[in-house]
């Protein structure tokens, strides 16, 4: 709920000062309206942040457009120096970032620290890539001129970040865009705007020029995005979130031919073959399923187990699941924090009802926990057959579903039977078999004998309804660059006489 009272310029969250305004053209701006940021572990308000409007978003685009040429022509070395200064400031504030992340997202402090460390590594990767954006030089097909290919920034970029990984997403997106020479307008998730604010404030203190980085928080995501997408000055959109919203953004991008990168939903199959190391598979499945309370697009969505090891795997997986401690992310020893909101928790309860109706067998969990906050017990179901209401459905919850197959071919066929194509996982002791199966899986990423894959050097992204483009690796910065071809006339005889 919004209030018409102007909020303060900053709030104190877990002892950390965090800006709460919109950041436009180098300065923090309060707003007439604010909205509450809740701690999902308690349901209480921890901050009030500026509730931005489409007019605020367009002011941010004004600033980004004005800064475009200036930022594009900052030399690679000077840009890299800014990045290095920002990276140093980020690492000095690791504890602040982790604590604010836990306060607004609910994830355990250990997970927040790990997310921050990975985010800083992404930002460092882009720092190191800035001076290594190379073109090509070649003779033309029939002589007389040279074919020179270079790259130039695509232009102002709208970066729409999700709530489930608030630090990783902004570091990954903004790092690539800024390294390429694109000014940015960041639209944070209303559930977790504070981590974005800390990140942007750090870039400001590092010396990024006015207008190059802009941040708008809002409860009117659709209105803000639509206003920006309809403006011809916006040349790039990068979105992480649901496939439905991604499709809407792509439709909005079409009239202006806006360059689009989409990291969308997932239906990750976690395939355990008959020769798998069952203990390793069970341990990795717990991590892959219950990290961030299952609220991850790359989570194990369908655990597909060969019948030869199904009983052993299921028994061990349930045992490990029941060892998980649920609680406030600031408490020692907590493995699983709360669901992000009451609404999201209610959707998990509805999912459990769907599973029961489909004839699934509840092996552990299955209920919300009493008391303050939005906690849900880690849950495991054994699912018979292939219920239509569960196929191609992203669970996005601390709910694991186990399916049994009779062969590797059946496992691959079932894994691919989805509209999504983000992440898949294969467990087998046979390297040749692992490669053969991985090559047959229609997914952008495949983890082999591991349940976590994100790495700065890796191209992160999916196929089919899971998105377009890649974040990370050598591909990421080029998603914010356009090739430019120069035809240079050359007198082949010049200099020979």
CA distance 227 to 439: 41
CA distance 239 to 245: 9
- CB neighbours of residue 65 within 10 Å: 18
Can you read off the two tokens belonging to residue 308? 């030869």
Cβ contacts of 416 within 8 Å, gap of 6 or more: 440, 441, 442
CA distance 342 to 1: 14
Torsion of CA 320, 326, 331, 332, to 10 degrees: -10
Scored b (16 or more CB within 10 A) or e, 359-396 reads ebeebbbbebeeeebbbbbbbbbbbeeebeebeebbbb
Longest dimension (CA), the chain: 90
The catalytic residues are 263, 297
Can you read off the two tokens belonging to residue 4? 């018409």
Query: How large is the C-alpha radius of gyration of the chain?
Result: 24
Q: Which residues pair with 238 in a beta bridge?
A: 159, 261
Scored b (16 or more CB within 10 A) or e, 304-321 reads bbbebbbebbbebbbebb
Scored b (16 or more CB within 10 A) or e, 250-279 reads bebbeeeebbbbbbbbbbbbbbbbbebebe
Q: Are 129 and 179 in contact (CB under 8 A)?
A: yes
DSSP 465-486: TTEES-BSTTHHHHTTEEEEEE
């Amino acid at each position: 709920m919004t209030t018409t009272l102007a909020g303060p310029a900053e709030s104190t969250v877990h002892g950390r000062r965090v800006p709460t305004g919109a950041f436009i053209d180098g300065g923090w701006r309060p707003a007439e309206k604010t909205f509450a940021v809740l701690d999902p572990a308690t349901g209480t308000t921890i901050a009030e942040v500026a509730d931005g409007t489409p007019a605020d978003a367009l002011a941010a685009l004004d600033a980004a457009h004005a800064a475009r040429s200036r930022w594009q022509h900052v030399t690679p070395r000077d840009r890299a120096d800014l990045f290095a200064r920002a990276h140093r400031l980020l690492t000095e504030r690791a504890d602040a970032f982790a604590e604010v992340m836990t306060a607004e997202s609910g994830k355990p402090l250990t997970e927040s620290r790990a997310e921050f460390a990975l985010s800083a590594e992404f930002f460092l990767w882009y720092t190191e890539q800035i001076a290594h954006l190379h073109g090509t030089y070649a003779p033309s097909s029939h002589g007389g001129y040279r074919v020179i290919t270079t790259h130039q920034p695509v232009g102002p970029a709208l970066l729409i970040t999700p709530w489930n990984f608030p630090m990783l997403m902004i570091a990954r997106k903004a790092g690539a865009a800024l390294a390429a020479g694109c000014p940015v307008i960041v639209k944070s998730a209303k559930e977790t705007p504070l981590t974005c604010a800390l990140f942007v404030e750090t870039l400001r203190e590092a010396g990024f020029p006015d207008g190059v980085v802009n941040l708008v928080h809002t409860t009117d995501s659709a209105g803000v995005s639509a206003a920006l997408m309809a403006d011809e000055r916006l040349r790039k959109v990068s979105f992480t979130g649901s496939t439905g919203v991604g499709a809407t953004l792509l439709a909005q991008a079409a009239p202006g031919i806006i360059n689009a990168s989409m990291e969308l939903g997932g239906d990750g199959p976690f395939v355990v073959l008959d020769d798998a190391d069952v203990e390793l598979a069970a341990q990795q499945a717990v991590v892959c399923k219950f990290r961030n309370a299952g609220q991850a697009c790359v989570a194990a969505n369908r655990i597909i187990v060969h019948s030869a090891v199904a009983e052993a795997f299921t028994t061990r997986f349930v045992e490990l699941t029941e060892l998980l401690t649920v609680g406030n992310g600031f408490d020692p020893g907590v493995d699983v924090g709360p669901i992000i909101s009451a609404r999201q928790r209610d959707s998990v309860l509805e999912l459990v009802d769907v599973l029961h109706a489909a004839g699934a067998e509840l092996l552990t969990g299955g209920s919300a926990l009493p008391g303050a906050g939005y906690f849900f017990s880690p849950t495991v179901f054994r699912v018979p057959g292939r219920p239509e209401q569960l196929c191609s459905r992203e669970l996005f919850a601390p709910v694991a579903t186990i399916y049994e197959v009779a062969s590797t071919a059946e496992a691959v066929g079932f894994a691919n039977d989805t509209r999504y194509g983000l992440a898949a996982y294969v467990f087998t002791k046979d390297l040749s078999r692992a490669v053969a199966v991985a090559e047959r899986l229609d997914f952008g990423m495949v983890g082999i004998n591991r349940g976590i894959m994100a790495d700065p050097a890796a191209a992160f992204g999916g196929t089919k309804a899971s998105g377009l483009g890649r974040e990370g690796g050598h591909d990421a910065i080029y998603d914010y660059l356009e090739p430019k071809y120069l035809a240079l006339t050359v007198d082949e005889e010049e200099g020979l006489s």
